Each structure stands twice: as structure tokens, then as C-alpha cells.
Chain A
Amino acid sequence: MEIAEAQGKLNFAIDGRKLDADGLEVAPGIYSILIAGECFEARVERQGALLCVTVEGQEYSAEIIDSRRLRRGRGGGMEAEGRQQVRAPMPGKVIRVLANAGNTIEANKGIVVIEAMKMQNEVRSPKSGTVEQILVTEGQAVNSGDVLAVIA
């Protein structure tokens, strides 16, 4: 997605295709989006290492890859609260389990490593807390969205 600002207004384009879009945050994480006059309400929430965006009752998992690697350590200061389920961001194979049930863990510390498409991806804890459960073992195949661990 490319975003450009002109005359105080944001213009969006996806892969070069310009959007006729008007977006406004109406409450924290809640957006009113108009696309060519059609109304959408979208909600964005963190879900472990991923973002979850819900539109028209449908939920999507997403990851923002910032080409300038602007990602901050604690995701802008928002730490997940309450019991969190950590999910696989993509399908792959668990090649390493880095934490055990009962361990305390810090936000952003690795829990498991998933290998997919010849790349290794460390799935991190969304908060500081205790590892309540590890639900996968080394060598296990996982699908996108599968729960890997629960952090209390």
C-alpha cells in the first residue's frame, strides 16, 4: 500500500491501483471507512505477533511490513492485556520451541520458531507474563492461525 498526503488529505493506492477512500478513526482501533461512497466499519486489534482486522463481520490476519523497518520494540507502547493466545502467522513447521509452560517471559521474547518457505520466523510473546501452555512440539506442522501458546 502506498500512502501520499496532498492538501491535508491522505490518498491510498494498493499495488498502484488508486483507491477512492476516506478513512477516519472514530474510537481507538475503530475506523469508519468510505470506499467510493460505500460504508465500512473496521476494527484493528493486536493478536500476538499479528494484527487482526475485522470488516463486515469477517476477520483477517495481517502483518505490516514497513520497508524502512520502522517497527518499534513494543509496537508503539501497546502491550496486550489478559490471557493471550499466540498464533502461527503463516503455515509451516515448528523447528524450535524456545519456552516451556511455567516459564516467565518478557514481551517480544521468542516462544517458537516456525520454518516456512525456507525462512525461519520467530514468533514472539505479545506481553510479559507467564507461559501458561505450549501447544506445539518440534517437528509439528502448523496452519496459519493455529494456537501455538497461551500467555497469562
Chain B
Amino acid sequence: MFKKILIANRGEIAVRIVRACREMGIRAAVVFSDADRASLHVRLADEAYHIGPAPSRESYLVIEKIISAAQKAGAEAIHPGYGFLAENPALARACASARIRFIGPSAEAMEKMGSKTAARQLARAVGAPMVPGTLESIATFEEALTTARAIGFPVVFKAVAGGGGKGMRQIDDEGEMAAGWRDASSEALSAFGDGRLYLEKYLVRPRHIEIQVFGDHQGHMVHLGERECSVQRRHQKVIEEAPSPVMTPDLRRAMGEAAIKLARAGQYTNAGTVEFMVDADRNFYFLEVNTRLQVEHPVTELVTSLDLVKLQIRIASGEALPFTTEDVRIEGHAIECRIYAEDPENNFAPSPGKILERRVPSGPGIRLDDGVYAGWTVPSEYDPLLGKLIAWGSNRSEAISRMRRAVDEYYTTGIRTNLGLFRRILDSRDFQAGAIYTRWLDEFLKIPPAGVAKSDHALDAAAVALALWHLAQNGASENGKQAALAGVSEWKNEGRRDQLSRFPRH
């Protein structure tokens, strides 16, 4: 087992890995840029090494600096976390050259499975289902018609030369084919200068469901069940959960087997995730592979009672997987909310700055994978993820009510967060029914928020708070206090209009 690991990351995932090291008696060495000297991962680590100015390309992304820090620390292994260099084969190779163990798959496995096209070729080779469709452009309308009938409606015409919705036409039945073929082609021609089209099955309200896999160096492979990640804003995951509300034992078995087959074909080792799209009929289609530990790994940990970071470390140090897929039990339900320093009212623009006051939730079923603390300044150079709030319940309904309670307990001042967004989502009928799909949140956000019912006295309480604030600002001395008390005589409230048109938020 390693005596010391260098963590090539920052923020909440660096804290996560420090914690696993602590529990295993391994010394945790971390790296930090100029912006992160005071950050939580440095405070909690055993050793810390400065690696440069704040911009990532001058610090966290510089392989030489990472290797150099590991050598200085005498670390036997490097854990890359997620993002940054986690899926960069060059880091894996640099570790091999420096005789430092990389806690993740080999560079070759990364290359084989990480590239979208390479992975699709692999998927085809092992017979994993992919979205049915043509792999090349269609020459004639007759060919389009034959293909569409073979795929089954609804289908979608897509432009060969580009995306962004241009040159796309959804076709629900044969009667729409001629117009679709004509319009999609002309739109593609004017947008990209190339009117060629291809055809794919149109997935109605697809769900994003991914399978966690693990491989050891002795050739064993397991899967730990699925995570549903369909609540996304512009393709960014916002809420994840395990298990999926639409999963059945048969589907889990089929998807798990497909994921394992794919991972074996890629000679994959350590932690990985195989992503699928699942349609309304529970057909699943391979999407891509993530050759790293994922942000949302805690929901799997909570329902399986496994520690995935420790498992990564154990596998990297040469241990065999201590269980088989059949041994894995899924208990209860877990939901994760990604808490970001962003302003939902300003199109979710990042909101860096100093965190002044903070209360974080706790109590039954609540886990917080935190990366910040009150008094710390969230830098603008990085993804503004503050941490992950995860709730576990004995069933999905309890997990939702626990998360809802936790979101109410959580506040920060000094920065904006996206907490108000989670209240809205968790209160929605669709989410509570599990009726979500990848574009659901984008559609949901187009609807203006309903006015939130509130107690009669809430405005009075707001007024009292403001009065107390004002008194504290102006009344230090006894005389000053008397003067201020006489002076505060009216206040103006813009709130009544605001509450009808704005997000509730922290």
C-alpha cells in the first residue's frame, strides 16, 4: 500500500481524496496555485506544494509541475481527481516514466475509450447498442425512406456538416419525410454550405443513465449499478441520483453487462463510467465512456456502502477487487445537488467572491462533500463548484424530502449560489414523479417561477432585520444609539414586485 499520494487537483475533490488517504493511514500531499493557498484542501492536507500562478494552464494543468511536486514529496502515486489532467494520457505516461503509480486507467485504455469515435468503434465491435442510424450521408430520398422504415419512426434528419440544431428535422411519420428531407437539406446548405444529411432514430425524452464500472489488474471487472443524471442545464449535470427511478433489475443487468463488455474490450482498469441514453421504452444506447472518477460518485457510494476513492487506491496499489457484481447491494436512494457560486438571475453567471457567513446542513441522511469555508474567497479562475450536497433516504421520496430540508438549512452570504434552483426542481411535480429527461430542466426554466406562498409576517420579519442591521451600523455609543433610534423612520421595499418575478434564492 502507498505511504504517500500526491493529489493533482483542488477544491472539493481534493478534499475528498485527502479524506480517503487519512482513513487509510496514507499521507496526503496536495498542490496549490496562488489563488488556493488558503483553500480547504491545503488546510486539511498533510503536505502542500506550490505549483504556480492562478490560471490552470500555469498550474494544475502543467504536467511537469505535478510530477515535480510528487517527486519532491516522495509520493509513490498520483490521484488526478476529475477534470484537469484526469483523462489526459500524457499525465499517465509521465507518471509511468517517473515510476509513479497513476491512480486510474492506463494511457492506452484512456485513448481507446476516451475518444468518442474510438469508443463507438469499440461499442460496435462488441455489439453494444448505439443510437440506430446511418453512419454516412444519405444519397437519395428513396434511400432515406427505406432507412427510416428500417429504423422505425420517429426519426431525425441531421446535417453531416454541423450541429447546433441547424439542418435538423424531426419526422414523426412517413408522411412528413418528403418535406423534412427537402427543408433539412436546404437549411444545412445555407448554414454550412453542405446540404448532406444523415438519419438517426429520434429518442423521445431520453434519459441519461450511466453505469459505474471498476476493473482491477488481475482481469476482474464489476459494475456498481447506475446513476441517473437527466437533470441538466445546457448539457451540464445539475442533479444526479441513484438508483434511476425507471430502472428494473433486467435493465440494470443488461446495461451492466454491456458496460462490462465494453470495459473489458478496452482493457480498462480502475474506475470508469459508461454513459447511455435510455428511451421511453427502456431501450438503451451507448453514448460515451468517462475514464475517471466522476463528480457524482457519492450517490453510488451511499446506496452501495462502498468507498470508491479507497477502492481506486487499493486497485492502483495492486490489490484485487474484493467483491463481485453479484455481491453489490443497492439500498435506499441517494440524490446529489451540485452547489455552485453562480447567479441564477444573471443567466447562471459565476459569482466568485468572499464567503462571509455560512450555515451548512447536517442531520439524518445528509452528506456534504465540501470544498470551501466561511471567510474564503472563491476564485474566478476555476469552475465555481462550492461542493456537493447529497441526501440518502430509505426510498426516493424520503431522499427528496431530506434534500429539500437540507437546502433550506443551507445558506451563504457574500456570494450568490444556485440553491434556489434546487428548491424549484425538488418542489416540481415532474421531478417528484421521476418524469425527467435530458432537456427537462431547460424546458422547466422557461416557465416563470410561481409565487411562493409565505407567511403573513415574513415582510415584518424582514423589516425588523433591516432595522436591527441599521441600528448596528449607526449606533456604537449610547448617544449614537439614541440618535439612530430617533432617526430611522421609514424604509422602502421593492420586494413586493420582486417576489412575483424572481427566483427564490439564497
Interface on A for B, CB 8 Å cutoff? 1-5, 12, 14, 19, 21, 23, 25, 27-31, 33, 35-36, 38, 40, 42-45, 50-51, 53-68, 70, 72, 75-76, 78, 81-85, 89-90, 144-145, 147
Contact = CB atoms under 8 A, between A and B. Distances in A.
A21 B464 contact: yes
B488 A64 contact: yes
Contacts of B473: 72, 75-76, 78
B488 A3 contact: yes
Interface string B463-505: 1111111111110000000011111111111110111001011
A2 B463 CA distance: 11
Nearest to A34: B461
Contact of A60 (B345, B472, B488, B499): B499
Interface in B367-411: 377-378, 380, 408, 411
Interface residues of B, number: 60
Interface stretch (B159-167, B269-277, B351-359): B351-359
B468 A31 contact: yes
Given A54-B505, A83-B352, 20 more contacts: A4-B485, A5-B485, A25-B468, A29-B469, A30-B357, A45-B356, A45-B413, A54-B506, A55-B454, A55-B461, A58-B504, A59-B495, A61-B494, A62-B492, A63-B491, A66-B487, A82-B377, A82-B378, A83-B353, A145-B345
Contacts of B463: 1, 12, 14, 19
Contacts of A59: 495, 498, 502, 504-505
Nearest to A63: B492
B111 to A, nearest CB: 39
Given A25-B472, A68-B483, A82-B414, A90 B460 contact: no
A98 B420 CA distance: 34
A33 B487 contact: no
B457 interface: yes
A89 B493 CA distance: 10
A5 B451 CA distance: 36
A58 B495 CA distance: 9
Contact of A53 (B353, B462, B474): B462
B64 to A, nearest CB: 32
Contact of B357 (A28, A55, A63, A66): A28
B140 interface: no
B458 interface: yes
A19 B462 CA distance: 12
20 contacts: A2-B489, A3-B485, A19-B460, A19-B463, A19-B464, A23-B464, A31-B468, A38-B455, A42-B464, A45-B413, A56-B458, A57-B505, A58-B504, A59-B495, A59-B504, A60-B462, A62-B495, A82-B353, A85-B346, A147-B346
B381 to A, nearest CB: 12
Contact of A21 (B343, B356, B357, B460): B460
A89 B491 CA distance: 13
A81 B466 contact: no
B208 to A, nearest CB: 29
Contacts of A67: 487-490
A133 B129 CA distance: 49
Contact of B462 (A42, A66, A75): A42
